[in-house]
Structure 1
Amino acid sequence: MSPVISVDDLHKIFATLDKKGDGLISIDQLKWLLERIGYSASIEELKTLVGRSSTTLDSMDFIFFYDIVVKKNNNNSLSGHDHDGDLVEAFKVFDLNGDGFISCEELENVLLRFGLWDECDGGDCKSMIRKFDTNSDGLLDYDEFRNMMLVSS
């Protein structure tokens, strides 16, 4: 069983890896860290798991990576992982009331819990949802969430 690491610990780990202090770490740094804790994956596997063409992760990406992939994967390899299953699990983290949609309030609540949200007015939260809300209902359904998570940065 994988050890449970707190969000505060994840922020400290991320800050340690973020040598430039620019709020980003590289896929190479992630690979180095994973090798140190006994996980093996190629750079290409990590890019696929992160779900982006970018070779960097911000702290939110790093926390999601840990929570969805590392914490739930109890073997020593990250290959063969169920990516859609990971996205379903991530969606459930945000869908606090279990209605099949992520509202601005739910998104803000989860980001606050992860220590990734400073604003109290929710304005940026609404624009985040609006960007991926293809049916303009003010909510993210699973498909919209999946598109958001897989979008290239």
Structure 2
Amino acid sequence: MSPLNTNDLQQIFEKIDKNGDGLVSLEEINLLLEKIGVKFSLEELQPLVGKPSLDFNEFLFFYDSISEKNNINISSSTSEVDLVADQEADKESDLVKAFEVFDLNGDGFISSEELQDVLSRLGLWDESSGRDCRAMIHVYDTNLDGQLDFEEFKNMMFLTIS
């Protein structure tokens, strides 16, 4: 399950589909990835995408494929407990990476300004959206310091995904 829902991905798709043809090109996908700090050359991106442009359903599939971990080769001696522990460690690692995307200044906290900046770069926030990043943070800010630490972020992600 991904932290972005289908509506969020639809908004992103529409923002990067500059010509409104219902397709996003490799160049448009690459611009989006660069905005969130993921660097690929078009030559590296082509095999990942598999075609020169994607419709929305293909974009969803692409998003899911890059946001999930590659399948882990599991030997027959690996116990189910070890597998669950590995999956939890992978989730934690993914959450740390996601947290770092939002924690722009690297201080270990996500401020409303940082949240607004990242959402703006993803095309999910603008002045007319009516969203208030302070209010969004307040919902999950359990210690009421006005920002999210990693544990609060993790709780928010698990509540959002479930």
Q: How many residues align?
A: 103
TM-score (norm 1): 0.53
**What amino acid is aligned across from residue 91 of structure 2 in structure 1?**
H
Q: In the alignment, which residue of structure 2 is the partner of 1:109? A: 117
- Structure-2 separation of matches of 1:122 and 1:96: 23
Moved over 6 A (4+): none
Pairwise mapping of residues 35-50 of structure 1 onto structure 2 (< 5 A)?
none
Write out aligned runs for 1:1-153 (5 A). Answer: 5-6=29-30, 7=32, 16-17=56-57, 33=61, 69-70=67-68, 73=69, 75=70, 77=71, 82-119=90-127, 124-152=132-160
Is the radius of gyration larger for structure 1 or structure 2? 2
1:129–1:138 contact (8 Å) kept in structure 2: yes
Q: 1:87, 1:146 within 8 Å by CA — same for their partners in 2?
A: yes
Q: Is the 8 A contact 2:125 2:131 kept in 1?
A: no
- Distance (whole Å) between structure 2 residues aligned to residue 101 and residue 121 of structure 1: 24
**Equivalent pairs: percent with the same residue?**
49
Structure 1, unpaired ranges of 5+? 19-28, 35-61
Normalised to the residue count of structure 2, the TM-score between the two structures is 0.50
